[in-house]
């Protein structure tokens, strides 16, 4: 089943985000390599495609996991949590219509 992972950043976390980004992307790449990743990306604070000093307000990941418990377990191990980027992470089932 698909699950939506919505993570909210702490204020002014761009430096921590950039430092932890390689490890964060490596985990996403593992999901992608197993054809389990639907979409992943950050939410820029400003209306811009390019990163800027304003940073990000959070991230969205939609991926396939065997259960809600496993999706939560995976999300809890995100390098952005250890780096202090995220202050809140919500995981819930997602039903793709289109």
Residue (of 46, 49, 48) closest to 57 by Cα position: 46
Average pLDDT, the chain: 95
Kindly report the CA angle at 54 between 48 and 60, in degrees rounded to 5? 65
Segment 26-38 mean pLDDT: 98
Percent of the chain with pLDDT over 90: 91
pLDDT of 90 reads 98
pLDDT given at position 14: 93
> pLDDT (tens digit, 9 = 90+) per residue, 70-95?
999 999 999 999 999 999 999 999 99
Query: Cα–Cα distance between 25 and 27 in angstroms, integer?
Result: 5
Scanning the structure block, which residue is given the tokens 């304003």? 54
Q: Quick one: pLDDT at residue 60?
A: 98
């Amino acid at each position: 089943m698909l699950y939506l992972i919505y993570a909210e950043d702490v204020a002014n976390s761009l430096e921590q985000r950039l430092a932890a980004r390689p490890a964060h992307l490596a985990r996403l790449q593992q999901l992608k390599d197993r054809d389990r990743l639907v979409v992943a990306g950050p939410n820029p604070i400003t209306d811009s495609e390019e990163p800027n000093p304003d940073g990000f307000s959070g991230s969205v990941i939609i991926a396939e996991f065997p259960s809600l418990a496993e999706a939560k377990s995976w999300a809890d191990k995100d390098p952005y949590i250890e780096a202090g980027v995220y202050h809140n992470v919500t995981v819930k089932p997602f039903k793709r219509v289109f």
